[in-house]
């Protein structure tokens, strides 16, 4: 799966949280795996660049020494940087870093999506509970009034008994 295809799974459909919850683990796994591969590609490119730089560094030093030329480290570095092979690999390394960073950001976004899904599910459950309580509030109110009425009836009966005993 390509980056843009994977990125589309970030969208959360509040009306279809079940599908979002089912897609989350697979989408996160794909982003995490692609990140690992991108980091490996970046590291490989960096290693190739370092090896080529070391190899060409020896050539630049040998050429300068044969010509009797004394070069500073910064002059050697400048010559190396100007070589087409080094420039090509440096650009390739920058592209690999960008790709790894993009996948890292997407992986982080899926972690955030996971937290958002958890919160949305809790919110949705709370809304459903509130709706259930509202629809049942008439029954609750009737039950409460019946309890209060029964308590009042028993209290009135007790008061009458107490009054009779005092007489």
Task: Please check the confidence at residue 66 and state whether its pLDDT lies above 80.
Answer: yes
Task: Please check the confidence at residue 149 and state whether its pLDDT lies above 90.
Answer: no
Instruction: For residues 120 and 156, state if they share a domain.
Output: no
Task: Please check the confidence at residue 43 and state whether its pLDDT lies above 80.
Answer: yes
Instruction: For residues 95 and 144, state if they share a domain.
Output: no
Cβ-defined contacts of 90-95 (< 8 Å, 24+): 90/49, 92/45, 92/49, 93/42, 93/45, 93/46, 93/49
d(CA 155, CA 167): 19
Q: How confident is the model at residue 140 (pLDDT cuts 50, 70, 90)?
A: low
What three-state secondary structure class fits 89? helix
Instruction: For residues 128 and 156, state if they share a domain.
Output: no
Return mean pLDDT, the chain. 89
Instruction: For residues 106 and 123, state if they share a domain.
Output: yes
Instruction: For residues 49 and 64, state if they share a domain.
Output: yes
Q: Tokens at residue 77, please?
A: 């570095």
Q: How confident is the model at residue 133 (pLDDT cuts 50, 70, 90)?
A: low
Instruction: For residues 100 and 163, state if they share a domain.
Output: no
pLDDT value of residue 161: 82
- Distances in Å between the Cα of 16 and the Cα atoms of 54, 112, 114 are 56, 18, 15
Number of domains in the chain: 2
Q: How confident is the model at residue 152 (pLDDT cuts 50, 70, 90)?
A: confident
Helix and strand numbers, DSSP H then E, in the chain: 5, 0
- Distances in Å between the Cα of 167 and the Cα atoms of 35, 153, 154, 162, 164 are 91, 22, 20, 9, 5
Average pLDDT score over residue span 41-47: 98
Q: How confident is the model at residue 68 (pLDDT cuts 50, 70, 90)?
A: very high
Q: Which of 41-45, 83-87, 159-163 has the lowest mean pLDDT?
A: 159-163
pLDDT value of residue 132: 65
Instruction: For residues 87 and 143, state if they share a domain.
Output: no
Average pLDDT score over residue span 136-155: 73
Instruction: For residues 99 and 154, state if they share a domain.
Output: no
- For 65, the domain range is 3-135
Instruction: For residues 49 and 129, state if they share a domain.
Output: yes
Average pLDDT score over residue span 112-127: 90
0.75 exceeded by pTM: no
Which residue matches tokens 């989350």? 24
pLDDT tens across 21-36, in order? 999 999 999 999 999 9
Instruction: For residues 12 and 65, state if they share a domain.
Output: yes
The residue among 140 and 28 whose pLDDT is bigger is 28
Instruction: For residues 105 and 146, state if they share a domain.
Output: no
Instruction: For residues 95 and 21, state if they share a domain.
Output: yes
Average pLDDT score over residue span 106-114: 95
């Amino acid at each position: 799966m390509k980056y843009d295809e994977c990125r589309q799974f970030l969208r959360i459909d509040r009306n279809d949280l079940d599908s979002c919850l089912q897609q989350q683990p697979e989408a996160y796994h794909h982003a995490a795996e692609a990140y690992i591969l991108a980091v490996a590609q970046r590291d490989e490119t960096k290693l190739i660049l370092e090896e080529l730089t070391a190899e060409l560094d020896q050539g630049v030093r040998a050429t300068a020494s044969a010509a009797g030329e004394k070069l500073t480290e910064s002059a050697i570095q400048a010559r190396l940087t100007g070589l087409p092979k080094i420039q090509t690999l440096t650009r390739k390394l920058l592209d690999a870093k960008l790709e790894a960073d993009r996948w890292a950001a997407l992986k982080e976004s899926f972690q955030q999506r996971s937290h958002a899904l958890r919160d949305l599910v809790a919110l949705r459950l709370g809304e459903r509970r509130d709706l259930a309580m509202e629809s049942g509030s008439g029954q609750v109110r009737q039950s409460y009034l019946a309890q209060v009425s029964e308590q009042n009836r028993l209290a009135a009966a007790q008061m009458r008994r107490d009054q009779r005993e005092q007489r």
